[in-house]
Amino acid sequence: MSDMTAATAAPFVPGGRRQHRKSRQGSGGMRRALVLAMAVPVASVALSGPSAFAVGKGAGATAKDTAVPDADDQQMVMNLKARVLDERLGANVSGVVVDAESDDTLWDHNGATALMPASNTKLATATAALTVLGPGHRFTTRVVYGDGTLTLVGGGDRTLSSADLAELAQTAVAGLKAAGLTSVKVVVDDSLFPEPTLANGWDTGYYPDSVAPVRALVVDGHGVEDTSIDAGRVFATQLAADGITIDGDITRAPAGKHDVPIAQHTSAPLSDIVHTMLKQSDNNIAETLLRMTALGAVRPATFEGGTEVVRQVLSQRYGVSLANFEVHDGSGLSRTNRIPAATLAEILELLTEPRYERTLGSIRDGLPVSGEAGSTLGPEWGRFDDVKSSCAVGKVHAKTGTLTGAIALSGLTQGKDGKWKVFSFIENGSTANPAATKDAMDGLAATVNGCWA
């Protein structure tokens, strides 16, 4: 990764103030503006407050000046101290709230304790992918021809659709007919990734519903054991519909060195794909991005190669602390993943810095919004719909995380004082009904927002 420079991770001091890595822009009494364009429509609910952070301290400000919470923050902290003890959250719960303006840690409850983060892991995956590949990166699926064979070559596009394949087929048919060919063998080449394996902490029961075996070729997000052969069959069916006879079964083989390019399809930009991954918490997109990120950093397209790059990006590029940080996949399905709430808050703080807007802005925009239908914080999932948290509908932007025995919620919200807060909550091992645990966690987010005062 040529754009990565070595940096020392800033230590996290629970409950206190950190020596933070943020740069101070301007001089003297100039205040810095951190853009947070959170214009996500949620039914008819508009986001409250300004759409930008007004942060930074004027000339002569000191750490002591900003370390004393105002009355609203003091009330929030008191409420969090009481509400984090809610029996629905269980005994093994951690949380952190950071003021995005001052970088002060306003509240910390076991924030340095590494817990199973579930899909909050995707925040780290998205950060690495966007940093290594760039938000404008697109994935290419190709069709090549050689010696009577059309080969469909996977390029790691987890959003490839049957309509995209139909366009490839149409172009291929035109070329075949122009050459006087009416029959062809169809082969798939998914050699961009090695043969699928289970990640450390994965169960075979995950296949294919929670996640499919990770291959470089898939169509319509089909949850099947062999997505490459499945895509080849869809492609062959489309060729046949246009009058081409398919010779034999669909098989797997690498494209020939001298095969002639026939057609290609490029995906939407990575920023759009990350947006979709986060809104829907799509495990398959996350695992594909982990492998493509590894390849982009010249590492093997494996769980190990991808997670190595994630660690390097977070620590060396952004100075995020990796104390007690352990990840084994890109989606968060691994039950051996461990991330402290403090680390997730550090990752989210990057989204409040203007220098990272171009690279990481799609993470912020892709965070589900409380009450947003079609996202993992939508009413169809029973989120922010009780008397305590419904006041925060449209006001909380956060990544969800859910596994058996683990629930997490990490994101951004504007406090009662009008200032933006970064928060992360994780619980492991609660014996309460998961829906009840999520209600309690939504209540914590509403508390940070200040609408549940």
Same domain, 255 and 313: no
pLDDT at 67: 52
- Identify whether residues 311 and 413 lie together within a single domain: yes
Note whether residue 322 is domain-resident.
yes
Question: What's the rounded Cα separation, in Å, for the pair 130 and 112?
Answer: 26
Q: For residue 37, what pLDDT is reported?
A: 34
How far is the C-alpha of 410 from the C-alpha of 404, rounded, in Å? Answer: 18
Pick from 266, 2, 271: nearest CA to 135: 271
Instruction: Indicate the pTM of the whole model.
Output: 0.86
Within a domain: 442: yes
The dihedrals phi and psi of 230, each to the nearest 5 degrees, come to: -60, -45
Instruction: Let me know if residue 416 belongs to a domain.
Output: yes
191 and 59 in a common domain: no
pLDDT in tens, the chain (453 residues): 333 333 333 332 223 333 344 433 333 322 223 333 333 333 322 222 323 323 332 323 233 333 567 899 999 999 999 999 999 999 999 999 999 988 999 999 999 999 999 999 999 999 999 999 999 999 999 999 999 999 999 999 999 999 999 999 999 999 999 999 999 999 999 999 999 999 999 998 999 999 999 999 999 999 999 999 999 999 999 999 999 999 999 999 999 999 999 999 999 999 999 999 999 999 999 999 999 999 999 999 999 999 999 999 999 999 999 999 999 999 999 999 999 999 999 999 999 999 999 999 999 999 999 999 999 999 999 999 999 999 999 999 999 999 999 999 999 999 999 999 999 999 999 999 999 999 999 999 999 999 999
The answer to the question of residue 22 being in a domain is no
For residue 163, the one-letter residue type is A
| Co-location of 178 and 66 in the same domain | no
Question: From CA 210, how far away is CA 335, in angstroms rounded?
Answer: 13
Residues 252, 383, single domain; the answer is no
In-domain check, residue 153: yes
In sequence order, the 6+-apart residues with CB closer than 8 A to the CB of 43 are 371, 373, 393, 394
**Between β-strands 339-340 and 114-115, what pairing exists: parallel, antiparallel or unpaired?**
antiparallel
pLDDT at position 204, please? 87
Q: What Rg do the C-alpha atoms of the chain give, in angstroms? A: 24
- CA–CA dist 274, 285 (Å, integer): 8
The CATH number of residue 422's host domain is 3.40.710.10
Q: Six-digit token pair at 11?
A: 């230590």
Task: Specify whether 424 is located in the same domain as 318.
Answer: yes
Q: How far is CA 45 from CA 14, 97, 396, in A?
A: 35, 25, 12
Final residue in a domain of this structure, among 267, 291, 311: 267
Rounded distance between C-alpha atoms, residue 345 and residue 107, angstroms: 12
* Residue 19 included in any domain: no
- Residue 109 main-chain phi, psi, to 5 deg: -130, 95
Shared domain for 282 and 426, answered yes or no, is yes
Read off the amino acid at residue 393.
Answer: V
Last residue of a domain, one of 245, 267, 289: 267
Q: Which residues pair with 234 in a beta bridge?
A: none
pLDDT for the residue 147:
94
Counting the structural domains of the chain, the total is: 2
270 three-class SS: helix
Same-domain check for residues 343 and 445: yes
**What is the 3-class SS of 72-132, one letter each residue?**
HHHHHHHHHHHHCCCHHHCCCEEEEEEECCCCEEEEEECCCCEECCHHHHHHHHHHHHHHH
Q: Where are the beta strands (DSSP E) in 352-392?
A: none
Query: Up-side HSE of residue 164: CA atoms within 13 Å toward CB?
Result: 24
Residue 403 in any domain: the answer is yes
Joined together, the tokens standing for residue 288 give 């594909």
- Triad 408, 414, 418: Cα angle to 5°: 155
Query: Same structural domain for residues 261 and 206?
Result: yes
Residue 244 lies in a domain: yes
CATH of the domain at 230: 3.50.80.20
Same domain for 94 and 163: no
DSSP string of 300-335, one letter each residue: -SSHHHHHHHHHHIIIIIT----TT-B---SSS--T
170 contacts: CB under 8 Å, gap ≥ 6: 238, 242
Cα–Cα distance, 375 to 278 (Å, whole number):
8
Per-residue three-class SS string for 167-193: HHHHHHHHHHHHCCCCEEEEEEECCCC
For the four alpha carbons of 353, 355, 357 and 359, in that order, the dihedral sign comes to negative
pLDDT at position 42: 31
Q: For the chain, give the longest Cα–Cα distance.
A: 81
Residue 266 amino acid letter:
T
Residues in the chain: 453
Q: Which residue has the tokens 């794909």?
A: 273
Regarding whether 285 and 191 lie in a shared domain, the answer is no
CA dihedral 335, 340, 344, 346 (to 10 degrees): -150
Q: Which domain holds residue 171?
A: 140-267
- The amino acid at 18: R
- Measure the CA–CA gap between 323 and 302, rounded to whole angstroms: 23
253 plus 294 within the same structural domain: no
Domain boundary, last residue among 209, 232, 267: 267
